Chains A and B, each alone.
Chain A
Amino acid sequence: MKLKIFILLILMMSLSFVLLAKEQKTDSEPLSAKQVLDKLDDLWRGKSSTAEMTMEVKTRHWHRTMVMNMWSKGTDYSMVRVVKPLKERGTATLKVKEEIYNYLPKTDRTIKLTAAMMMGSWMGSHFTNDDLVKESRMADDYTYKMTINKDKTINLVLIPKEEAAVVWGKIEILVREDYQPIKFVYYDEDGEISRTMTFDKYEKVGNKLVPLVMKMTPADKQGEYTLVSYKNLKFDIKIKNGFFSLNQLRR
């Protein structure tokens, strides 16, 4: 009997060693470029998620801050609903599979986004509707090259593939040693910087480390930016597909 327990213990310990070792191995083995890109694509995508978002937009003519609630499930469903300012409370954007809708509570109207509206700004920010909808993965649309800097941060240079439907000429990504993004720089076809997205406030949510703050700065508009920060971010919440419906928009 004692022998059995002893062998079990040793097995368990070796198992844990193996497991530990494996984990360590995973930690220490560097990711390939593709894996880094995939990780970045999946940064905020859990199976599902919800959060409270604060978006501050500064343009040459105005400066606003909005507070919104956000829910998402996979890549097919997401909903964003405005809580503050009071004037726009209830305004929402809903994505169901391929279709996107904007709901305007003041007029109780739902507008389905057409191709023509895709490049329009989302809620007045420097993000476009297209940015929100983007389904394609960076690894699919771009060819990439990864280099490691002296300070252990990693550079990824992405060049769009021949047929990829993206407007950028180049994207440069800077990530931390732990693969957390620091900044994305978007270049146009002539090599001029078009916009820059920076990340900050890295926190652990669930068992993932994510930046909770993103800032998008257009290159050609002095002093303008959009700053998004997440609060109360939760991953893998229980949420039904039916939640993402036009009816739900109007509650």
Chain B
Amino acid sequence: MNTWQMASRNLMRARRRSSITVLAMALALGIMIAYSGLFDGMMSGMKENAIMLDMGHIQIHAEGYRDTPSIYTRITDAEDITQNIIAKGYMASERLFANGLVAKGNSSAGVMLRGVDAEGEEAAMQLPGHVKNGKWLSKDDQHGVVLGFRLAKTLSAKIGDEIVFVSQAADGSMANDLYTVRGTLKSAGEMIDRSGLFMNIDAFRELMVIENGAHEIVVTIDEEKNLEEAVGNIKNMAKENEVLSWQEINPSLFEMLNASKSMMIPMIVITYIAIAIVILNAMLMAVFERIKEYGVMKALGMGPLGIFNMVVAETMLMAITATVLGLLLGISLSWYFQTYGIDLTSVAEGATFSGVAYNSIWKSKLTLESVLQPVIVLYIMVALAAIYPAVKAARLNPIEAIHHN
């Protein structure tokens, strides 16, 4: 009879105790998986927000634009470069920016006007889908604008309202025109929320008298793992313009996301310490109950190692069962949260962390890592917890054990 068979029989003999222990482990595992998924979901949600709403994976600017933004510092062959990038399989979109004043009735606010390619932005970014009221700009709409979440509040702007935008055009004349509010956005990051006013790039060109060129080309790629390669490719296509990856554009976000990966570990460890105590308890009881048995086994020739292995095997069997159950629980919870999420709209609207908006629906993100990490740590904790009882059992004196009351 091998160790595993003995172990499983031992477990079955104390069914209730074994099942409670297994259930406790399974619960812990399941919840850690779910929690891990939620945490990952929040982090990747924020990253998604930052990247897919505004920043993109890669940005191209004319040399010097980032240090001293000026409407005159533009990428000259913006259209060609953008087409080339798209041909290579990425998604890209041109953008133009200008500071100005927007007024509605008696309210006015300083804004950053953003001329975007309605279709291109829809293909490359997720901002167009991030509309709270109304809708995003349609392709040929020369008189529509979309407002950031807080800007809309400041101006008390509703769909269909008329606003006037005033600024100085590139030729020195007063740029001013009337626009109709087509939509207002959900919270998308501090800058857009407060001062973002979007219009079609053609309308922008006409208003601001900027015939060609763009201030920024934003690029998104399919898989983050190809980022480095993409940056290389795009640098070749961008001629003398500056190409930056999102990590270079927002290094503090990058740092935070990196740091957060390690933030889960202390949480998991703490949780599992609680589990370890449970396991320790259970195994100690198991060992204690069977001291006589061990004594007999030893008397019959089973060495300490054999006993040690048997105790460990029992623990491992429980762990394996718990893993199966825990995975079931954890994955289904994660799946639920991934699909439906936790609705935070009432609480989180407009809340930001490092300038990036929180998602109003907190969704989980199920990844291999978020599942594997809790499982691995579980096994480590279980193994550790099994040591003391196993050692104790192994070192029993057979004679004393048999006489144990």
A-to-B contact residues, CB < 8 Å:
57, 59-62, 64, 85, 87-88, 91, 104, 106-107, 109, 111, 114, 121, 123-124
Contact check, B172 vs A62: say whether CB atoms are below 8 A apart.
Answer: yes
**A91 and B174 alpha carbons, distance in the complex (Å):** 9
- The answer, among A60, A62, A104, for a CB contact under 8 Å with B174, is A104
**A123 and B171 alpha carbons, distance in the complex (Å):** 12
Which of chain A's residues have a CB closer than 8 A to the CB of B166? Answer: 104, 111
CB within 8 Å of A: which of B96-117?
101, 103, 108
Query: Nearest-CB distance from B195 to chain A (Å)?
Result: 15
User: Which 6 interchain pairs have the tightest Cβ spacing?
Assistant: A124-B172, A104-B176, A62-B172, A107-B178, A62-B171, A64-B172
Contact check, B172 vs A109: say whether CB atoms are below 8 A apart.
Answer: no
Which of chain B's residues have a CB closer than 8 A to the CB of A61? Answer: 72, 170, 172
B346 touches A (CB below 8 Å) = no
Count class of interface residues, chain B: 10 to 19
Enumerate 23 A-B pairs (CB-CB under 8 Å) in ascending A order.
Answer: A59-B172, A60-B72, A61-B170, A61-B172, A62-B170, A62-B172, A64-B171, A64-B172, A64-B173, A85-B173, A87-B173, A104-B164, A104-B174, A106-B177, A107-B164, A107-B177, A107-B178, A109-B178, A111-B166, A114-B108, A123-B174, A124-B172, A124-B173
Which chain A residue has the least Cβ–Cβ distance from B103? A111
B168 touches A (CB below 8 Å) = yes
**A30 and B174 alpha carbons, distance in the complex (Å):** 46
Query: Nearest-CB distance from B108 to chain A (Å)?
Result: 8
Query: Nearest-CB distance from A125 to chain B (Å)?
Result: 9
The A interface is mostly helix, strand or loop, or mixed, namely loop
**A124 and B101 alpha carbons, distance in the complex (Å):** 15
Once A61-B72, A109-B103 are accepted as A-B contacts, the answer to whether A88 and B164 lie under 8 Å apart by CB is no
**A61 and B173 alpha carbons, distance in the complex (Å):** 12
**A123 and B166 alpha carbons, distance in the complex (Å):** 12
**A114 and B107 alpha carbons, distance in the complex (Å):** 12
Which of chain A's residues have a CB closer than 8 A to the CB of B108? Answer: 111, 114
Which of chain B's residues have a CB closer than 8 A to the CB of A123? Answer: 174
Query: Nearest-CB distance from A189 to chain B (Å)?
Result: 24
Contact check, B170 vs A124: say whether CB atoms are below 8 A apart.
Answer: no
Query: Nearest-CB distance from A88 to chain B (Å)?
Result: 6
**A59 and B173 alpha carbons, distance in the complex (Å):** 12
CB within 8 Å of A: which of B308-340?
none
**A104 and B174 alpha carbons, distance in the complex (Å):** 8
**A104 and B103 alpha carbons, distance in the complex (Å):** 13
Which of chain A's residues have a CB closer than 8 A to the CB of B101? Answer: 111
Contact check, B172 vs A88: say whether CB atoms are below 8 A apart.
Answer: no
Query: Nearest-CB distance from A90 to chain B (Å)?
Result: 11
Which of chain A's residues have a CB closer than 8 A to the CB of B168? Answer: 121, 124
Which of chain B's residues have a CB closer than 8 A to the CB of A85? Answer: 173
**A121 and B172 alpha carbons, distance in the complex (Å):** 11
Which of chain A's residues have a CB closer than 8 A to the CB of B176? Answer: 104, 106-107, 109
Contact check, A88 vs B177: say whether CB atoms are below 8 A apart.
Answer: no
Which of chain B's residues have a CB closer than 8 A to the CB of A91? Answer: 174
Which of chain B's residues have a CB closer than 8 A to the CB of A114? Answer: 108
